[in-house]
Amino acid sequence: AQSVAQPEDQVNVAEGNPLTVKCTYSVSGNPYLFWYVQYPNRGLQFLLKYITGDNLVKGSYGFEAEFNKSQTSFHLKKPSALVSDSALYFCAVRARYNFNKFYFGSGTKLNVKP
Amino acid sequence: EAGVAQSPRYKIIEKRQSVAFWCNPISGHATLYWYQQILGQGPKLLIQFQNNGVVDDSQLPKDRFSAERLKGVDSTLKIQPAKLEDSAVYLCASSKPTPGEETQYFGPGTRLLVL
């Protein structure tokens, strides 16, 4: 079965420290990979995506993500966290050939403390 | 460029009543998605349209949920009759179906509370 796993329900980090939000997937056929952020009472906002090429992808608000094909992972990272980064983060995977179907992880709540 | 529009933003109904949500995708986006997001969970795809045709509705509870996209632009999702467990945020998203344009863009969602 196709699936996306975000093993941590919550990640706590101090402002200024690096952060990592983990994502692994089980979707066949070299899928596209995405990260979205959701602020309270808002829809999901696109952060970044991996389609092909360099394994390190840079996105909005200083976020980046590293694709690891052998580990089927796509971890979200930021060198220095801000309090305003506190939100809910979703990893999503889009199958290339199955009618472009999206699979979402369950989300990770990021708490950045001053 | 205007984003995905949804209305209403909030809706409170009693169980067994009916409710409808509206979505207008980004102009030129042929693919439209409806998701259900229950509190504390990730979005679950209910139905996916390509223009006015249904691509995937495998997770749509067809005994009570229906959706249409008659002219291939805006879409309506209906629940009739509603159950308590339908309380959730209903998200609409759209994308272009072409390679390199795979990103889904989401609307603000409709928060439904069924009492």
DSSP string, B66-81: EEE-TTSS-EEEEESS
Q: Please report the DSSP string for A47-95 in residue order.
A: EEEE-SS-SEEE-GGG-EEEEETTTTEEEEEESS--GGG-EEEEEEEE-
Contact across the interface for A43 and B41, Cβ inside 8 Å = no
Residues of B with CB under 8 A from a CB of A: 4, 31, 33, 40-45, 48, 50, 55-56, 91, 93, 95, 97, 100, 102-109, 111
pLDDT band at B102 (very low <50, low <70, confident <90, very high): confident
pLDDT for B41: 85
How is residue B58 written in tokens? 């495998």
Query: A94 and B102: CB-CB below 8 Å?
Result: yes
Of A34, A46, A99, the CB nearest to B55: A99
Residue in B42, B45, B95 closest to A90 by CB? B42
Which residue among A32, A43, A105 sits closest to B106, beta carbon to beta carbon? Answer: A43
What residues of B are in contact with residue A105 (Cβ under 8 Å)?
Answer: 42
A108-113 and A102-104 as β-strands: parallel, antiparallel, unpaired?
Answer: unpaired
CA pseudo-torsion sign B90, A105, A107, B115: positive
User: Is the pLDDT confidence value at B101 over 70?
Assistant: no
Q: What is the mean pLDDT of residues A41-58?
A: 90
Model pLDDT for residues B10-23, shown as the tens digit of each residue: 999 999 999 999 99
